[in-house]
Amino acid sequence: MTGHPVYQNLKLESYIGTPIFVHGKVYGTLNFSSTQVKSSDFEPHEQEIIELMAQSIGRFIAAHQTEMERQRVENELRRQHRRSQLFAEITLKIRQSLQLEEILHTTVTEVQKFLQADRVVVFQLRFDGSGTVVKEAVVPPSPVIQGQEIIDPCFQQEYLEQYLQGRIGAIADVEKANVQPCYLNMLQQLSVRANLVVPILQKQELWGLLIVHQCSSPRQWTSFETQLLQQIADQIGIALAQAQLLERETRQRQELARSNVELQQFAYIASHDLQEPLRKIQAFGDRLKVKFSEVLTDQGLDYLERMQNAAGRMQVLINDLLSLSRVTTKTQPFIPVNLTLVVQDVLSDLEISIQETGAQVEVENLPIVEADPVQMRQLLQNLIGNALKFHNSQVQPVVKIYGQLPMALELPAPSFDHQEQLPRDITNNEEFCQILVKDNGIGFEEKYLDRIFNAFQRLHGRSVYPGTGIGLAICRKIVERHSGSITATSTPDQGATFMITLPLKQHQGDSAK
């Protein structure tokens, strides 16, 4: 054979071959050759056999490549699934708490456990590039560095900007890596042979770094590990924002609660201290009227009368302020309270008002609840008293006090048809109950619903309906202290229904509210 240099180099004298195609492309050749001269030319059937063999080999190689690709895809899918599963597990554990300390502890512990790293730390940065190791999970004998202040002379503004843009730092072997001497020296002081660093961003700001150290030996970081760490760092950023928001809200609630307590204490003390000078005004006013009424002019008597009326209104106002402050400052433990008995006592106290108005009062189906008995009495007395006070003079006043189960809360309240049956079988098997006080009085426009439960809010003049406008505010505070709610429905000149929802049993410690 002559011609091709390969043939000459191999000293080939005879050759027959054909290309092998795999997926439509030439993969190689199938050939038979010899250094001996063939006595005759190759027959066509010999060429056909070689071509068939090449086709079979091509199909086999193609099938093998397809299988290898399938296995590669399956392995990649398994890795992705494992990463997603691990990410979900760690994220769930991180989100189980909104406490910053617990979030960071969970993060470093779970990452160290999965990556089998010698150390995992959360490094909180300051604006100058220095920072503190705020949380660490470390395996002995690697040294503990939690709490250390670290100043990296190499970590300057350019690196801060790079990490802010999402830079990931990965070093497989610090002794072979091309790093600045100052950075290498710091890593060696921490006994680090390999490290992986990803940024923790919070609201587009670089909060810190999530760092994995291998101290015992070099380590080649995989894309799987890098992506997982980056995803976890993103979740830390979200959790940090939520934790800080919760911390801020908690602090605001505590400050508000403290302010409310101080305000309530002030109201109680101020109201209490006003009692004595007011009593003197009333006492001296009474003496003036008794001893000097004959020598006072009509104008003087008018002034004296106005003074006594104002003092009387002030006394009522002080008493109501004291009642409002006592809702939270002078409380009693929660005990089982039979509301039917409470209403009976209230009706006994209101007997004169009931007789004067000619009211018909109906009581049905009230439950037993865990509550402060004194406050339950005050609550119902205020509501029933209002129903009597704001009666419609054109019709006989009718007041209904009844309870119903949660399953019946959507049912319409009973009308004043005496034949109508009210809900029964209120039992303590239900978590909540509802107490309703319904009247056929003057009612009010529901656009004022939010207003009527605020202190000193009145919808009618004092000359027509006496009072200070504190009664419903007291009701609301009592209900809130019992972890309940109060609302009302009304139509002018057709009456009003006040609805109180209370838990049948209070949670342990609620009585301290």
Tens of pLDDT, residue by residue over 394-453, are 889 999 999 986 544 443 344 444 333 333 344 444 488 999 999 998 888 888 787 788
Tell me which long-range contacts 445-449 makes (C-beta under 8 A, separation of at least 24): 445/490, 445/492, 446/488, 446/489, 446/490, 446/491, 449/487, 449/488, 449/490
- pLDDT at position 499 over 90: yes
What is the reported pTM?
0.45
pLDDT at 198: 94
pLDDT at 457: 58
* CA dist., res. 203 & res. 216, Å (int): 36
- pLDDT at position 467 over 60: no
* CA dist., res. 61 & res. 435, Å (int): 82
| C-alpha pair distances (Å), 429 with each of 406, 408, 423, 432, 472 | 11, 14, 16, 9, 30
Specify the domain boundaries for CATH 3.30.450.40 within the chain: 95-248
pLDDT mean over 134-145: 92
Q: Indicate the pLDDT class of residue 316, thresholds 50, 70 and 90.
A: confident
CA-nearest of 205, 204, 169 to 187 is 169
Q: Are 435 and 366 in contact (CB under 8 A)?
A: yes
- pLDDT at position 463 over 50: no
pLDDT mean over 19-38: 88
CA-nearest of 443, 407, 442, 439 to 423 is 407
pLDDT at 270: 63
- pLDDT at position 320 over 60: yes
Does 456 or 316 have the greater pLDDT score? 316
pLDDT at 422: 36
**pLDDT winner (highest mean) among 12-21, 256-265, 392-401:** 392-401
Instruction: Give me 296's structure tokens.
Output: 């006072």
CA atoms lying within 13 Å on the CB side of residue 255: 6
pLDDT at 61: 93
pLDDT at 408: 42
E strand residue ranges, 100-241:
119-125, 131-138, 149-150, 169-171, 194-202, 205-214
Specify the domain boundaries for CATH 3.30.565.10 within the chain: 331-512
pLDDT at 6: 72
Q: Indicate the pLDDT class of residue 479, thresholds 50, 70 and 90.
A: very high
* CA dist., res. 385 & res. 399, Å (int): 10
Q: Indicate the pLDDT class of residue 243, thresholds 50, 70 and 90.
A: confident
Strand-strand pairing, 119-125 and 131-138: antiparallel
Angle at 27 between CA 23 and CA 28, to 5 degrees: 150
pLDDT at 421: 37
* Partners of 123 in the β-ladder: 133, 209
Q: Are 146 and 213 in contact (CB under 8 A)?
A: no
Q: How many CB atoms lie within 10 A of CB 423?
A: 18
Residues in the chain, how many? 513
Q: Are 377 and 475 in contact (CB under 8 A)?
A: no
Tens of pLDDT, residue by residue over 192-236, are 999 999 999 988 888 999 999 999 999 999 888 898 899 889 988
* CA dist., res. 169 & res. 181, Å (int): 16
In the chain, DSSP finds a helix count (H) and a strand count (E) of 12, 15
* CA dist., res. 363 & res. 383, Å (int): 14
* CA dist., res. 470 & res. 489, Å (int): 19
Q: How many CB atoms lie within 10 A of CB 327?
A: 23
| C-alpha pair distances (Å), 228 with each of 67, 217, 270 | 28, 21, 62
Q: Indicate the pLDDT class of residue 42, thresholds 50, 70 and 90.
A: confident
pLDDT at 458: 56
- pLDDT at position 485 over 60: yes
Instruction: Give me 146's structure tokens.
Output: 């939690």
E strand residue ranges, 340-390:
360-364, 368-371
Helix (H, G, I), strand (E, B) or coil at 450: helix
pLDDT mean over 498-513: 75
| C-alpha pair distances (Å), 208 with each of 110, 193, 199, 479 | 18, 22, 6, 46
pLDDT at 456: 57
pLDDT at 145: 92
* Partners of 198 in the β-ladder: 210
Mean pLDDT of the chain, nearest integer = 81
pLDDT mean over 100-112: 88
pLDDT at 167: 85
Tens of pLDDT, residue by residue over 323-337, are 666 666 566 788 999
- pLDDT at position 381 over 60: yes
Q: Are 471 and 382 in contact (CB under 8 A)?
A: yes
pLDDT at 435: 93
pLDDT at 365: 84
pLDDT mean over 464-470: 59
Instruction: Give me 484's structure tokens.
Output: 């309940």
- pLDDT at position 136 over 90: yes
**For the chain, percent of residues with pLDDT exceeding 70:** 83
Tens of pLDDT, residue by residue over 262-313, are 666 666 666 666 777 778 888 888 888 888 888 888 888 888 888 888 887 7
pLDDT at 271: 62
pLDDT at 12: 79
Does 79 or 502 have the greater pLDDT score? 502
pLDDT at 130: 82
CA-nearest of 366, 399, 273, 279 to 325 is 273
If you classify domain 95-248 with CATH, what class do you get? alpha beta
CATH of 331-512, one of 3.40.50.1820, 3.90.580.10, 3.40.640.10, 3.30.565.10: 3.30.565.10
pLDDT mean over 155-167: 75
